[in-house]
Amino acid sequence: MSNVFPSQHPLVAHKVTRLRNKETKSKKFRELVREISALLAYEATADLDIAPREIETPLATTTGAELKQPIGLIPILRSGLGMVEGIWSLMPAAQVWHIGLYRDERTLQPVEYYNKLPLEPTVSVCLVLDPMLATGGSAVATVDILKKWGVVNIKFVGIIAAPEGVKAMQDAHPDVPLHLAAIDDHLNGDGYIVPGLGDAGDRQFGTG
């Protein structure tokens, strides 16, 4: 699988195991989502462009670096919301643009219900955030929206993926790298990832 990057980091593996545990309560669950997201974003942004930047230290002039491109964080509502804060703490200048999609019960296709993107793109790198890459329908539709908006450099950051979701993204958007904590066994008949962690939205927001 090219362009698929399951994290090899021991901290990620440790934290995802705690996240999966059904005994983990909402507060801890949210902390873990925040921490894992930051670790994954650190890996996902390793190839960002930098430009030289001259500064004065208290002792001398030196040439350092600064990020060249404006970054957008695109949480898919609602589960993606919990991924924003940890990543934002690493890149506080990032813009956050929310995308809301739901699955039509009849057609099973994602339907857009929230999108306030301005006409012209205001960022040149986008990190699409969704903790669960299940069927891949929402992720594919979100990347479609961002490409239509005019963004070329798009990365997906998710915590747990099903092979079905990975395939859907690779078929539709092979240019978009997938940065994941784990790829699980399968999707069950109700659309849940197995072994997974249950409903990521309910577990974050205490609504389950």
Residues classed as catalytic:
103, 107, 199, 202
Question: What is the total count of residues that contact ligand URA (CB under 6 A)?
Answer: 10
Q: Which of residues 36-95 bind ligand URA (CB under 6 A)?
A: 79
Instruction: Give the one residue of 81, 87, 94, 132 binding ligand URA; rule: CB under 6 A.
Output: 132
Separation CA 83–CA 129 (nearest Å): 7
Does position 163 bind ligand URA by CB under 6 A? Answer: no
Does position 169 bind ligand URA by CB under 6 A? Answer: no
Does position 193 bind ligand URA by CB under 6 A? Answer: yes
Cα 184 to Cα 43, 85, 165, 200: the distances in Å are 20, 25, 10, 15
Instruction: Give the one residue of 134, 141, 157, 159 binding ligand URA; rule: CB under 6 A.
Output: 134
Do the beta carbons of residue 145 and residue 91 sit within 8 Å? no
Identify the DSSP state of 191: S
- 174 or 208: CB nearest ligand URA: 208
Cα 123 to Cα 24, 46, 113, 139: the distances in Å are 36, 18, 22, 19
Contacts with ligand URA, residue ranges (CB under 6 A): 79, 132, 134, 191-193, 196, 199-201
